[in-house]
C-alpha cells in the first residue's frame, strides 16, 4: 500500500511524532492537521509544507470545524495533564468522538503506547500480554487513560464498521528529539539519567523515518474488529546502552540514578508487525547518531542566535 493522492487527517500534529508524519505525508497527499497550535512557529512550519491546520482541543471533544470527508485518520493526539477528567476526555472520549465524526474513512490508525502493558521488567511484550498501570511512577494518568482509549476505539470501530489499527508505539525518536534526546540533555547538564534497578532498561526504539515508512502498512492492516500491533523498531537496546553511545559521540561519561521512581524496560515482540507491515530499516546506533548530530546543530544555532541578539552578555 502506498499513500498518494489521499485526504488524510492527522491529530496531535505539533507533537514530536506526528509533526514529521504530517509533513512527510503532505508531499503526496492532502493533509489536514488538528492540534491546539499554541506554538505559532510549528503551525507555520506545517502550513509551509502544505498542511491545512485546524485548531482543536481534544479534551473538549468538539470536531465541528474538522472535515469529515477524509480517506484516512492517523490519531497521534495525546493529552498528558495528569488530571483524570482531562486525560480521560482527551485520550479516550475524543478518540471515539473523532471516529464517529470520520466514520466514512477507509481506515483509522490509533497510536497507543507500550505503556499499556502490565510488565515493565525487560521481558518482550506480545500484543496479547496482560495490560496494566506501568507508568504510574512517572505519569499517574497515562497508562490507564491509554488503555481506556484502546477500549473506546475498539468499541467504536465495531459500532461504525471503521477498519482500525491500534498501534502500540515503543520509544519514538528522531532528529526532532525523543526520550533519548531528553537523556542527552541530562548528560550534557551533568545530571544523572534515571534507570530502574532491574536494568538494563530495554526497549525497541523506532526512528521517525521508520514510523513514516511503516504507516501505510499499519493502515493497510486495519480491520473490524481492530487489529492491534506493537510499533517498535527491530533493534532492541537499552537506556544504558544508548546513553553510553551518546556519551561517546559528545565526549560525556553518563551517570545513572538507579531508582524505583522510573519505569523499567518494555521491549516489544515484533513478529506480528513484521508479518503484517514489514521490517524497520534504521538501526538504533545510526538513528541515535543522527539525532545527536541534529540536537548539537540545533543547540549551536540557538547559542549563535542568543549571542547575536546580545542575550548572552
Structurally, how many domains does the chain consist of? 1
Is 279 among the domain residues? yes
pLDDT (tens digit, 0 to 9) for every residue of the chain, 313 residues total?
789 999 999 999 999 999 999 999 999 999 999 999 999 999 999 999 999 999 999 988 789 999 999 999 999 999 999 999 999 999 999 999 999 999 999 999 999 999 999 988 889 999 999 999 999 999 999 999 999 999 999 999 999 999 999 999 999 999 999 999 999 999 999 999 999 999 899 999 999 999 999 999 999 999 999 999 999 999 999 999 999 999 999 999 999 999 999 999 999 999 999 999 999 999 999 999 999 999 877 766 666 565 433 334 2
Place of cell 549563535: 304
Q: Which three cell numbers mark 234?
A: 527491530
Q: Which three cell numbers stand for residue 224?
A: 473490524
* pLDDT recorded at residue 297: 76
Amino acid 270: pLDDT: 97
Cell of 296: 548539537
- What SS3 state is found at 260? coil
231 and 292 Cβ atoms separated by less than 8 Å? no
pLDDT recorded at residue 298: 72
Owning domain of residue 106? 7-176+204-237+266-283
Position 88 in a domain: yes
The answer to whether residue 108 sits within a structural domain is yes
**pLDDT tens figures, 60-109:** 878 999 999 999 999 999 999 999 999 999 999 999 999 999 999 999 99
Q: What pLDDT, on the 0 to 100 scale, is given for residue 296?
A: 78
Structure confidence at residue 299 (pLDDT): 67
Q: Give the model's pLDDT for residue 303.
A: 60
pLDDT at residue 307, as a whole number: 45
Does some domain include residue 288?
no
Residue 248 lies in a domain: no
For residue 295, being part of any structural domain is answered with: no
Q: Domain with 109 in it: what CATH number?
A: 3.40.50.720
| DSSP codes joined into one string, 129-187 | SPB--TTTTT-TTHHHHHHHHHHHHHHHHHHHT--EEEEEE-EEEETTEEHHHHHHHHH
Overall pTM surpassing 0.75 (yes/no): yes
Reported as a single tens digit per residue, the pLDDT across 112-148 is: 999 999 988 889 999 999 999 999 999 999 999 999 9
Residue 298 in domain: no
245 part of a folded domain: no
**Cell, residue 300:** 549551536
Cis peptide before 225 (omega within 30 of 0): yes
Amino acid at each position: 500500500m502506498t499513500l498518494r493522492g489521499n485526504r488524510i487527517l492527522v491529530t496531535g500534529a505539533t507533537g514530536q511524532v506526528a509533526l514529521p508524519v504530517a509533513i512527510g505525508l503532505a508531499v503526496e497527499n492532502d493533509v489536514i492537521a488538528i492540534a491546539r497550535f499554541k506554538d505559532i512557529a510549528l503551525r507555520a512550519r506545517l502550513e509551509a509544507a502544505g498542511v491545512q491546520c485546524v485548531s482543536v482541543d481534544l479534551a473538549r471533544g468538539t470536531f465541528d470545524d474538522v472535515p469529515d470527508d477524509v480517506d484516512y485518520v492517523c490519531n497521534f493526539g495525546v493529552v498528558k495533564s495528569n488530571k483524570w477528567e482531562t486525560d480521560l476526555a482527551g485520550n479516550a472520549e475524543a478518540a471515539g468522538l473523532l471516529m464517529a465524526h470520520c466514520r466514512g474513512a477507509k481506515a483509522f490508525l490509533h497510536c497507543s503506547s507500550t505503556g499499556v502493558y502490565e510488565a515493565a521488567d525487560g521481558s518482550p511484550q506480545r500484543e496479547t500480554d496482560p495490560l496494566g498501570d506501568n507508568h504510574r511512577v512517572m505519569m499517574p494518568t497515562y497508562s490507564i487513560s491509554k488503555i481506556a482509549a484502546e477500549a473506546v476505539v475498539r468499541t467504536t470501530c465495531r459500532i461504525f464498521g471503521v477498519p482500525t489499527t491500534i498501534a502500540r508505539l515503543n520509544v519514538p525518536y528522531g532528529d526532532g528529539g525523543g526520550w533519548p534526546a531528553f537523556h542527552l540533555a541530562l548528560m550534557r547538564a551533568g545530571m544523572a539519567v534515571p534507570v530502574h534497578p532491574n536494568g538494563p532498561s530495554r526497549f525497541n526504539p523506532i526512528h521517525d523515518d521508520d514510523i513514516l515508512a511503516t504507516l501505510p502498512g499499519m493502515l493497510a492492516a486495519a480491520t473490524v474488529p481492530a487489529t492491534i500491533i506493537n510499533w517498535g523498531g527491530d533493534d532492541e537496546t537499552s537506556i544504558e546502552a544508548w546513553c553510553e553511545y551518546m556519551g561517546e559521540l559528545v565526549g560525556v561519561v553518563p551517570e545513572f540514578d538507579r531508582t524505583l521512581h522510573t519505569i523499567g524496560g518494555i521491549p516489544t515482540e515484533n513478529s506480528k508487525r513484521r508479518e503484517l507491515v514489514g521490517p524497520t530499516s534504521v538501526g538504533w546506533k545510526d538513528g541515535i547518531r543522527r539525532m545527536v548530530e541534529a540536537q548539537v546543530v540545533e543547540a549551536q544555532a540557538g547559542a549563535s542566535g542568543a549571542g547575536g541578539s546580545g542575550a548572552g552578555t
